[in-house]
Amino acid sequence: MGGCHPGGLGRTSVPAVGRPSRTAGCRREGGCHHRREPRCVAPECAADREACGRVAAVTSAVSCLGRPGGPERAVAAVRRGDVEPRSRRFEDTELAAYLLRVVRGEERDALAAGVRFGLSALSLGYTGATAALQAAYRCGLRTRERLPVPVISVGNIALGGSGKTPLTRWIAQRLTAAGLRVGLLLRGHGGTLVREGGIVSVGSGVLLSASEAGDEAVMHARALPAVSVAVGRDRVRMGRLLIGQAGAEVLVLDDGFQYWRLQRDLDVALVPADDPFGNGRALPRGLLREPPSRLRRADALFVTHTERVSAGEVGCTIQRLERMAPVGTPIFTCQLRATCFASLSTGTTVPLDELRDRRVYLFSAIAANEQFACTAASLGLTVVGHRQLPDHFAYDRQALPGVDDDARRLDADALVTTEKDAAKLKPDCVRTPTYVLRMELDICGQSAFEACLLSAARSLVV
């Protein structure tokens, strides 16, 4: 194997017509892995854990399982905090965290045991349904569509933070640097245009808000001004729009490992080093969308977040992947590295040392809130508090003032948040000085992966 380890715009209810946004073990190459620092513990939320609250949250979340979209939609709803009716924002994020602990087997009470029993039965149905869907595509009962440009997919087999977002950005940047016009396709989690679809950017500014397109899409559109971005459940249709309207020469499909409808020229699958396969159970009893054995479909594999574990643990994960994947499948590793802070109000960047030893209050709504807290602590920040919210949480008039008030009460010098959260925030949304932590991806075996990437991106479509 080679490499690190041998290995019209806006809303589009009518195509091409829309409205503008209303709101402007790779030790062999050395140096890639570091032993994990002692795990830091983020400050606890103040929400209570009364049994009645738990029952209400669990009952509401499990009720999602019978709705269209199935178990995966239900677990995703819990991560976003949408386990109660749309008219009432689910504010007690501890309840969402409780349900996830139930799924992971961390809660041992009678209620948790009953919920796990019911979810185990539902997992059998989910696994059978996904297997039948894949079989239908393999046998030709359902059609896989081919677009007239190469398609590169980045995905995984589990819910949660596996590092898809930074790798997707990295791929788009490299393809753009190679002189290609890149289009980025996302489902648009957390936005209102998931069903209808919308074009977020065609390389000339952001056309939709985070509430419409989702936080990740807006973040990508801001960070990648030369890349066209579209969201929507029907990514085949949105891909055609990007090709027609933005002249995309290659498409990058975010979270596309299970999007069987669209044929790909390169399928990249990610496995987080700190939690490779979760509890090994399928949704909704676990967080797996597919069994680990399905990773053999991937053309390239990535072990991500290697900065969180020891080199030995990374090596063990690589060995497991080697046993699953076909011979010759390249396996790469990568880690995230903090680069600087950026002022939310002005966009001005400041070095990491600028906030060292300063009292800061964190707030984040991502899949790995605890890791964000650990990263902040490792940079020498004095973390006085942390408001942890579900992934894709939609900030409202109650949440942000609460963050600002907590920061002032705890005498914090500044607020610190993530790039993903910043995509949903206005520059003047809080009074306390706010900084955005910027991260970059370091890939072990970068040159080999770039060669693989460019080969797929420049392939001729028959």
Q: Which residues pair with 153 in a beta bridge?
A: 253, 267
Per the structure block, which two tokens stand in for 428?
Answer: 């003047």
CB 248 within 8 A of CB 148: no
Q: Write the CA distances from 435 to 44, 134, 145, 216, integer angstroms.
A: 22, 44, 43, 18
Q: Which of 308-317, 325-334, 396-405 has the lowest mean pLDDT?
A: 396-405
Q: Are strands 382-388 and 359-364 parallel, antiparallel or unpaired?
A: parallel
Reply yes or no on whether the pLDDT at 57 is more than 50: no
How far apart, in whole angstroms, are the C-alpha atoms of residue 393 and residue 82? 9
Report whether pLDDT(4) > 70. no
DSSP 307: G
Query: Does pLDDT of 272 surpass 90?
Result: yes
Which pLDDT tens digit goes with each residue over 205-233? 899 999 999 999 999 999 999 999 999 99
Reported confidence tier of residue 5, pLDDT bands at 50, 70, 90: low
Of all helices (H) and strands (E), which one includes residue 261? none
Per the DSSP assignment, residues forming a β-bridge with 185 are: 230, 253
User: Domain extents for the chain?
Assistant: 10-16+143-336+443-457, 51-138, 338-438
Of 108-122, 240-254, 336-350, 394-408, the one with minimum mean pLDDT is 394-408
Residue 389 or residue 252, greater confidence = 252
Which residues, other chains included, contact 161 with Cβ-Cβ below 8 Å and sequence gap of 6+? 272, 366, 367, 368, 371, 391
CB 366 within 8 A of CB 372: yes
Q: Is the pLDDT of residue 6 over 80?
A: no
Q: What is the pTM of this model?
A: 0.80
Q: What is the pLDDT of residue 421?
A: 96
How far, CA to CA in Å, does 387 sit from each of 110, 161, 195?
29, 18, 30
| Mean model confidence pLDDT for the chain | 83
How many DSSP H helices and E strands does the chain contain? 13, 14
CA distances from 386 to 46, 194, 253, 428, 449 (A): 11, 30, 33, 20, 37
pLDDT of 204 reads 81
Count of C-beta atoms within a 10 Å radius of residue 113: 12
- Per CATH, 10-16+143-336+443-457 and 338-438 having the same topology is answered yes
CB 316 within 8 A of CB 43: no
Kindly report the number of other CB atoms within 10 A of residue 405's CB atom. 13
CATH of 338-438, one of 3.40.50, 1.10.3470, 3.30.160, 3.30.70: 3.40.50
β-bridge partners, 254: 154
Alpha-carbon torsion angle 174, 177, 180, 186, nearest 10: 40
Q: Tens digit of pLDDT for each residue in 385-432?
A: 999 988 888 887 667 888 999 999 999 999 999 999 999 999 989 999
Instruction: Find the mean pLDDT for residues 308-313.
Output: 96
Residue range 10-16+143-336+443-457, CATH number: 3.40.50.300
For 78-133, the pLDDT digits (tens) are 444 333 333 234 344 566 678 788 988 889 999 999 999 999 999 999 999 999 99
Overall average pLDDT of the 268-297 stretch: 94
Rounded-to-integer distance, Cα 326 and Cα 157, Å = 17
Provide the pLDDT for residue 214: 95
Calpha distance 328→345 (Å, rounded)? 48
Question: CA 244 from chain center: how many Å?
Answer: 27
In the predicted structure, residue 50 carries a pLDDT above the cut 50: no
Which has more confidence, 274 or 61?
A: 274
Q: Which two tokens stand for residue 275?
A: 């939690």
Contacting residues for 456 by C-beta, under 8 A, at least 6 apart? 150, 152, 265, 266, 299
Q: Are 115 and 78 in contact (CB under 8 A)?
A: no
